[in-house]
Amino acid sequence: MGRFYITTPIYYVNDAPHVGHAYTTLNADALARWHRLNGDETLFLTGTDEHGQKVADAAAKHDMTPQAWTDRTSARFREAWDALEVSYDDFIRTTEPRHYESVQKFLGAIYENGYIYKGVYQGLYCVSCEDYYTVEASDHGNCPIHGRPLTEMEEENWFFRLSAFEDRLIEYYDAHPGFVTPETKRNEAYAFIKGGLRDISITRTSIAWGVPVPWDERHVFYVWYDALINYLTAIGYGRDDDRVAAWWPSSHHLIGKEIIRFHCVWWPAMCLAAGLEPPSHVQVHGWLLVGGQKLSKTMAAEGGVKLTDIAPVTLTEEFGVDPLRYYLLRETALGNDGEFSYEGITQRYNTDLANNLGNLVARVATVVGSKCAGVAPAPDPRSELAAIAASTVETAASAWEHFAPHAALEATWGLIGATNAYLERHAPWKMAPGEPVDRVLGDALEVIRLVAVLVSPAMPGVARELWRRLGLAGSPTDELAHESLVWGRYPGGIAIEKGEPLFPRINEAR
């Protein structure tokens, strides 16, 4: 038993919560739930990034103060996560006083350590991006993102001496092989560092909506530099050193591949500059790409649908919260790009959830009803399923430890499949009531109990419902995994509930 501190990126409030945000957040949630189940002291942090010119502009457009505006837009994320049963322990907003305090202390420490200096930034500026581009990065003098002409500008800025950390970053990477996973992403970051680092400008005078620079009131910190520090704010940086010391060594950042630079290069360098160890682990995930006919047809007016156009709620209305969670976790290995499609989620729902798990529960309940008068028998301690269950638990546990929810679920469905086959072989529905029937059905019920616990990080609602139908008191997460994920704990002798189909099949090819 240890500690597990997992974070998502903080989401930019101007975006509406979409499936991409949900993908990251739900993976973090499942990992957090697994670790709690194992008795680890767990801290799961998410939140919103609320500074920058774009936020100030959006607020002005709605005739609101930036604070009032972000109060509203930040709440959308909380609501989305609550609807998806995301069990965050802390929701941080970069506009909170605690964050201002930590940012100023953290960057103040870097300043005092001599890694921040004043310079003049000269370059081609894009007003929409609020950023500069080099001539090479520009599109013939136009912004590569917005296509607008870039203007030549000069601004006095404070710079972070990133270039001073090349060697120390390389050393850190060499000494911590698991710092960034998967390995291909680690190599990407490593190669970038080896390629040479330039100093980066970290303040702005042209913007007011940000954290003031403590030693130069005319400046505010540029959004990214304040945003990263949220991971430390939440554990009390600058306010509670003991808490930082307790949690920071167990930190895991879950991020999308587009922000590798910030998390795998800048952020560890910033930590070193402030006199702190870098975070212990960054887990990078890939992107969900929209595929399939359904989404493209119905949701794209013109051009392709973007994942960012899809709100998680519209999917939960159609499939339910747990099936959506299952699909996002099961379909794609964390770290790889994956495909997100209407057809894909429908297929996962029908095959894995309805046909395999849901049908297993239904058929077992029916036979218990007809052969055991609805009273559950106990499992056989020496059942052939016991060994399969044990290896399933081992595989799943190892997968969760390695940030591989899809593998944990895959293993669990292997056990479900073995149990369906086991029933086929013994055909309890053909046997006369008695001890042999009881053994077979008790074994199947025990598998369902184990499955309830095993799927609880991914599908907490389904886990609770399975538990209830089995006639068990409390919830599947009341006991720690090492106690509950052991063959033979199902007591039997209790009335079970048949209930409606857990996952009614989705027919028709919509």
Partner RNA sequence: GGGGCCGUAGCUCAGUGGUUAGAGCAGGGGACUCAUAAUCCCUCGGUCGUGGGUUCGAUCCCCACCGGCCCUACCA
Residue 246 or 506: the one with the smaller Cβ distance to RNA is 506
- State phi, psi for 35 to the nearest 5 degrees: -70, -35
Catalytic residue (one of 294, 306, 426, 498): 294
Min dist. Cβ of residue 60 to RNA (A) = 16
DSSP state, 62? T
Q: Kindly tell me which of 65 and 184 has the beta carbon lying closer to RNA.
A: 184
Which one of 87, 355, 395, 475 is in contact with RNA (CB under 7 A)?
A: 355
Q: Is 97 in the site for RNA (CB under 7 A)?
A: no
Selected range binding RNA among 106-114, 348-356, 381-389, 449-457, rule: CB under 7 A = 348-356
Let me know: does 273 contact 115? Beta carbons within 8 Å: yes
Which residues, listed in sequence order, are joined to residue 65 by a DSSP beta bridge?
A: none
Instruction: Please state the separation of Cα 418 from the chain's center in Å.
Output: 30
DSSP helix/strand/coil, 84: coil
Query: Which of 7, 8, 38, 102 lies at the binding interface for RNA (CB under 7 A)?
Result: 8
Q: Which two tokens stand for residue 268?
A: 């560890």
Cβ-based neighbours of 23, under 8 Å, separated by 6 or more: 285, 288, 328
Residue 306 bears catalytic tag: no
User: For the CA atoms of the chain, what is the radius of gyration?
Assistant: 26
Query: Burial level of 297, CB count in 10 A (0-12/13-18/19+)?
Result: exposed
Least distance (Å) from RNA to the CB of residue 295? 14
Q: Which letter does DSSP use for residue 76 in this model?
A: H
Catalytic residue among 35, 51, 99, 126: 126
Indicate which residue of 118, 194, 297, 482 is catalytic.
Answer: 297
Q: Find where tokens 């509406």 sit.
A: 16
DSSP 115-169: -EEEEEEEEEEETTTTEEE-TTTSBTTB-TTT-PBPEEEEEEEEEE-GGGGHHHH
Minimum CB distance to RNA, residue 344 (Å): 7
Residue 280 vs 356, nearer CB to RNA: 356
Question: Could you say which DSSP state residue 250 is in?
Answer: G
Known catalytic residue at 126: yes
Residue closer to RNA, measured from CB, 13 or 453 = 13
From 197-205, 244-252, 394-402, 432-440, span contacting RNA (CB under 7 A): 197-205
Distance separating alpha carbons of residues 217 and 152, to the nearest angstrom: 25
Query: Using CB under 7 A, which of the segments 146-154, 249-257, 455-463, 470-478 binds RNA?
Result: 249-257
- Please name every residue paired with 334 in a beta bridge, in sequence order, or none if there are none: 336
Length of the chain: 510
Active site annotation includes 252: no
Sequence-distant (6+) residues with CB within 8 A of 228 are 262, 263, 266, 267, 270
For this structure, is 264 an active site residue?
no
From 333, 375, 386, 494, residue interacting with RNA (rule: CB under 7 A): 333
Compare residues 113 and 184 and give the one whose CB is closer to RNA: 184
CB 321 within 8 A of CB 85: yes
Instruction: Scan residues 213-232 and list those touching RNA (CB under 7 A).
Output: 222-224
Q: Which is nearer to RNA, 291 or 491 (CB)?
A: 291
- Which residues 119-138 are close enough to bind RNA by CB under 7 A? 129-131, 133-134, 136-137
**What mask, x for binding RNA by CB under 7 A, covers residues 157 to 186?**
-----x---------------------x--
Give the residue with the Cβ less far from RNA, 188 or 479. Answer: 188
Residues in 409-448 that interact with RNA by CB under 7 A: 417, 420-421, 423-425, 427, 429-430
> Are 285 and 24 within 8 A, CB to CB?
yes
**Using the rule CB under 7 A, is 363 a contact of RNA?**
yes
Phi, psi (deg, nearest 5) at residue 298: -85, -25
Of 140, 152, 167, 191, the residue at the interface with RNA (CB under 7 A) is 191
Nearest-angstrom CA–CA distance, 328 and 294: 17
For residues 261-280, which are near RNA according to CB under 7 A?
261-262, 265-266
**What track of x and - describes contact with RNA for positions 50 through 69 (by CB under 7 A)?**
--xxx---------------
Q: What is the largest CA-CA distance in the chain?
A: 88
Could you tell me the smallest distance in angstroms from the CB atom of residue 246 to RNA? 26
Measured from the CB atom, is 37 or 88 closer to RNA? 88
- Least Å from the CB of residue 256 to RNA: 3
CB of 240 to RNA, least distance (A): 27
Cβ neighbours, 10 Å, residue 467: 21
| Binding characters for RNA, 276-305, by CB under 7 A (x = yes) | ---------x-xx--x--------------
For residue 87, the SS3 value is coil
Q: How far is the CB of 486 from RNA (least distance, A)?
A: 24
Catalytic residue among 143, 264, 271, 372: 143
How many residues lie near RNA (CB under 7 A)? Answer: 85
Q: Is 371 a catalytic residue?
A: no
How remote is the C-alpha of 409 from its chain's centroid? 16
* Catalytic annotation present for 18: yes
Q: Residue 160 forms beta bridges with which residues?
A: 116, 200
Residue burial 22-60, b: 16+ Cβ < 10 Å; e: rest: bbbbbbbbbbbbbbbbbebebbbbbbbbbbbbbbbbbbe
Answer for which of 24, 46, 95, 383 binds RNA (CB under 7 A) is 24
Q: Write out the two tokens for 421.
A: 């086959």
- Could you say which of 5, 6, 20, 467 contacts RNA (CB under 7 A)? 20
Residue 255 binds RNA, judged by CB under 7 A: yes
Q: Show which residues are catalytic.
A: 18, 21, 126, 129, 143, 146, 294, 297
